[in-house]
Structure 1
Amino acid sequence: MSHTPRIRTAASCALLIAPLAILAGACDDGHPLSATPYDAADQIALSADEGGKVNPDKPLEISAKGDDGRITDVTATDAAGRYVRGELSADGSRWRSTSPLAAGAHYTVRVSTEDEDGAPGRRTVDFDTRPADKLLRVSLGPDSGTYGVGQPVTAQLSHPVKSPEDRATVERALRVDSQPRVDGGWHWVDDKTLHYRPAEYWPAQTTIQVRSSLDGIKVGNRHGGSAKPLKLRIGDRVEALTDAGAHQMTVKRNGKVIRTIPVTTGRPGYDTRNGVKVVLAKESYVRMTSASIGASDFYDLGVYWATRVTWSGEYVHAAPWSVGSQGAANVSHGCTGMSMENAKWFFDTVKLGDIVEVRNSGGEMMPAFDVGFGDWNVDWANWRKGSAVVPAGSHVGSNPADAARLRPEV
């Protein structure tokens, strides 16, 4: 051994007559566990000692040399603070990682040992892993900014992820934190797309932080790439509730009615979809043609103050040609039409992510994902079934206990 063994002095401590503080200090100084750890460099071996950058696809292995000491603890973290899980043999002779290392990462490994006399040793090793050959990139959305209470968070992957295990790895690496804290969860829309929403609409004035710790983590035959974090703010709760049967829209802010608007919605054969939609975009001028929706009757119109609610072409917009029917009949090709004045007011009042809900139309229900953000038409129980994490994890917000329980690991 390269250190000088300490001699136990418990008997001499018992014979000392001294103030309690001095007595305790003298006893502790002689106990092996109170000693400054010796350098255990010659007592243990790491697979990372082989030199060069380490292959992240191979497990990290640490072993004790000889029979005069054993490993008592191993802590391995990367520069992002992610822990590597591992198993230590019962006799302390060997530790082996049980989760893959991240690619292109810098690791610090702290190994604690003890010799045959119980004296503590320590070795710290730093190493780098090779960069990934194939990357799985994730793009988080929407862009940082202020949105309405219906805005979902999105994650778009560069390549499909199909296996339940790999999906769980991805999902655990995507973190959404909010103030105030709410219960929410991810839902796999398809092999490359995830949406995150709370059980209910976001509370007004919520602040949301979105980030990914997927960088370097192995997912199938790829490793995760870095992703730009997001900071979102939820504004006032603005809802536009359209009763297609009564030909009227009621607009509320934080539960208070701020305007009632006569409207026209889709006529039979072009019925406006029922259900909850989310404002996707605002366009002051749009050219609308019959070809864009496959209408049998020809039209080609320039439309002002168009608020888009589906990617398939449904808007809330100015329709000065149908003012006589607004409040009385449904005559549109599926959009919600109103006067120029009301459309301008609506355009100026709503923001992306605000709620536009239609009831009592002859149309079908707004689908969850195909033509826009119909996420809120999925009840919470079924939303949770779209998670790859079982049981589906609750949103982790400001609760320190939750944060500790779900500390990032590789």
Structure 2
Amino acid sequence: MSDIADGSLAYEGVKRIEWADRSMPVLRQIRERFADERPLDGVRVAACMHVTTETAGLIRTLQAGGASVALASSNPLSTQDDVAAALAEEFGAQVFARAGIDREGYYAHIHRVLETGPDLVLDDGCDLVNTLHTDREDLLGTVKAGCEQTTTGVIRLHQMVQEGALRFPVVAVNDTATKHMFDNRYGTGQSTLDGIVRATNTLLAGKTIVIAGFGYCGRGLAERARGLGARVVITEIDPVKALDAVLQGFTVQPMAEAAPHGDVFITVTGNRDVVNADHLAAMKDGAILANSGHFDVEIDVRALDAMAVRVHRNVRPQADEYVLDDGRRLVLLAEGRLVNLAAAEGHPAAVMDMSFADQALTCAWLVTAHEGLAPAVHDVPAEIDGEVARLKLASMSVSIDALTPDQEDYLHSWRIGS
């Protein structure tokens, strides 16, 4: 039995799922293959992911391969209620997701999907795996392996491995080359700015945009913000990434120096308190605060709330205005949660086509491969990543060269001199 907001929304959800599917040719090809080969027959999958039209494409692909799927949301503000209804009412998945549900309800939904006794778990931030290893150890017995979709989740998993806590193998789908390139760089870069513009209707040209973090997500954001005419400032703790940003022409400063000058602040670090009380106290009137890291801890929202003498909720959809005692106003988007999913629609479907193709093929591989894997964090096999890239190129009618036998010999022989 699913727990969704409104089953009558299913028709609208189906229309939007089918629209997204048009931009996901790689996943469509895998779905057709799965329908013929049935690599997931009898496999129970529990997933904690953003309930969006793109995720629906993955769920349908796993089902085509023979899996039964139970899905909970990995973020209450990202749930699309019409998609949840369509998956539950039209596509036969068990769905436990409602937009805007509170923390207690969020974890209740995670418990519900775990109670289906999954063979494989798909996670987006490690909350599913964390709950299994803390509150629901009684359900660990059936789980053979899992996949993790986010940088934040992979960091947590590595910490579990270091402490000897992880009880089954997990594949870091997040770390594939195709996922980093498409999802983090191009997806986050575009969808984050889309969310900020939808929430504020602000002109980015001429603004100073401060981006905390210069990983794949931060690079994509910086490139697109510069393309829209913004002055971009990067804050970093990693000297190599900071140097990379400098050599790409961006200003690099500590957050304390950037805080008084920024018009828009965007966090994409995976860490907490990246924007803290001291930074908030230094910001100019009207500064906009947005987070595109996985959890709502990167901006210290509690400190902001304590500093405010008044809070105007929803001055625009997904925009709350905090008034400080000196009259300055700071605007927090999406409650400090993922702005690209809460204030917009997340990554374009063409981006998630790549990430979810990696996910689907990895699930099929894990059905047999899990037996030879230790309880640790594992990479997606290179051949899966390469196959996804080849399928994507083919869908774009792009051809590439192939090595000749002589070239293969040259690359694999140490005896050939210069």
Query: Given the two structures, how large is their TM-score scaled by the length of structure 1?
Result: 0.24
The structure whose residues are more often strand, as a share, is: 1
User: Which of the two has higher C-alpha Rg?
Assistant: 1
